[in-house]
Amino acid sequence: MFSGFASMVKKTFVFIAILTLFPAAVFAIDTERLLTYKHWYVQAVAFDDGTLACEATVQGSTESFSIWTYADQTVELQFYLENKWFGESETYNDIEVEIDRRGAWDLTDAVFYKNSIFFTLPANNWDTAMELVGEVARGNRLYLRNNVGADQAWFSLSGSSRSIQALAECQNLLNRSGGW
Q: What is the DSSP string of 128-176?
A: HHHHHHHHHHH-SEEEEE-TTS-EEEEEE-TTHHHHHHHHHHHHHHHHH
pLDDT band at 12 (very low <50, low <70, confident <90, very high): very low
Domain topology for 5-176 = Immunoglobulin-like (2.60.40)
Q: Among 3-7, 37-41, 167-171, which is the least confidently predicted range?
A: 3-7
pLDDT above 50 (res 60):
yes
pLDDT band at 11 (very low <50, low <70, confident <90, very high): very low
Residue 28 to residue 46: CA distance in whole angstroms? 8
Boundaries of every domain in the chain? 5-176
Nearest partner of 37 among 156, 154, 175, judged by Cα: 156
Residue 29 to residue 40: CA distance in whole angstroms? 20
> Considering the chain, what is the average pLDDT of its residues?
84
Determine the pLDDT at residue 50.
84
pLDDT band at 177 (very low <50, low <70, confident <90, very high): low
52: left (phi over 0), alpha (psi -120 to 50) or beta: beta
